[in-house]
Amino acid sequence: MKQHVENFTQHLRTALDISGSSQITSTGQEIKNVLVLGMGGSGIGGSIAAQVLTDQLSVPVLSSKDYSIPAFVGENTLIIASSYSGNTEETLIALGKAEKKTKQIFCICSGGKIQEIANEKGYGCLVIPGGIPPRGAFGYSFPQLFKLLAINDLIDRDISSKFTSAIALIDEKEDAVKKEAFEIASRLHNKRIIIYAQSDYEGVCIRFRQQINENSKMLCWHHVIPEMNHNELVGWREKSDKLAVVMLRNHDDFERNQSRMELCKSVMGKYCSNINEIWSEGHNKLERTLYLVHLCDWISIYIAELNGTDPVEIEVINYLKGELSKIR
């Protein structure tokens, strides 16, 4: 897994080559909304992309991380089925339901049943390299979402230059990213981690939480500002040396939220001395988002090393899938 994090920008470059050489085209029909189907490492890209592109999209982009699809899905809904393996049970069942309501369907996968369905029914399909854990393939799958939104004229078609600048930034900052990640991981080791960010970076929070869960083999939780100021903040009542806070921050966060974060630090600081801030780098939201994703991925890897755990191992998930396969 460490090697996959190390190769993050190379994965992004490969993804751009795949999307750039693809002959995939739009259905040519009106699109009123977009639904991304996907679970875990395959599904988080939809949540993050929607937040990165919130200032560009003229239609809502939502994600379904379940067997079901919303009632609004219809002939003017663009469906993107994202499953790294191509065999994700929930995504396949949700796709089957979506097929009854719309023909505007595209897929992102490395093969499996999703690719078979796409080939059989003529759905546009972007095939990415396989053979690694889905959470390690974020760099391969994430840019493909932008490609599919672009060819359907929902965002600017020039996606390559935007990702190229983000790649250059991360490559330039890589040594500093690793250094900061290790320092923070050392403070989070053996702690219960709580992640906070402004609400439009919740997708990044979720990705970080998932990486802590899967790579570091630890429980943690997240919340967003300002919403947590109306509920969770009241829960800070008991001192504990087992807790550690991580606040993901951006210099362009809304000024009122900047003030809220500072005030939250003063409240939480009465009960927790382990409060860490991670400031993003970048000139636009895509750069800042990818920078934070990469840095947080490194933190999860370093915590795994400090815990003496294998970041690749997911025996309990494999057990669950195996048991479900016995139920008909």
Task: Over range 131-152, report the average pLDDT.
Answer: 95
pLDDT at 239: 95
Max CA distance (Å), the chain:
60
Report DSSP letters for 25-76, one per residue: ----S--SEEEEE--HHHHHHHHHHHHHTTTT-SS-EEEE-SS---TT--TT
Identified catalytic residue from 103, 121, 251, 321: 321
- Are 211 and 189 within 8 A, CB to CB? no
Task: Over range 139-157, report the average pLDDT.
Answer: 95
pLDDT band of residue 157 (cuts 50, 70, 90) is confident
Written as six digits, the tokens of 120 are: 């059989």
pLDDT at 176: 97
pLDDT band of residue 80 (cuts 50, 70, 90) is very high
Identified catalytic residue from 214, 222, 287, 294: 214
Rounded Cα–Cα distance for residues 49 and 26 (Å): 19
pLDDT band of residue 99 (cuts 50, 70, 90) is very high
Per-residue model confidence as pLDDT tens digits over 199-239: 999 999 999 999 999 999 999 999 999 999 999 999 999 99
Task: Over range 287-299, report the average pLDDT.
Answer: 98
pLDDT at 158: 87
Residue 48 above 80 pLDDT?
yes
Q: What percent of the chain has pLDDT over 90?
A: 91
What three-state secondary structure class fits 23?
Answer: coil
Task: Over range 174-196, report the average pLDDT.
Answer: 97
List of domains in the chain: 2-157 (3.40.50.10490), 175-307 (3.40.50.10490)
pLDDT at 325: 87
Identified catalytic residue from 230, 315, 323, 326: 230
pLDDT at 328: 73
pLDDT at 66: 95
214 annotated active-site: yes
251 annotated active-site: no
pLDDT at 102: 96
Task: Burial-class residue 55 by CB neighbours within 10 Å (0-12, 13-18, 19+).
Answer: exposed
Mean pLDDT score of the chain: 96
Written as six digits, the tokens of 68 are: 């079901």
285 annotated active-site: no
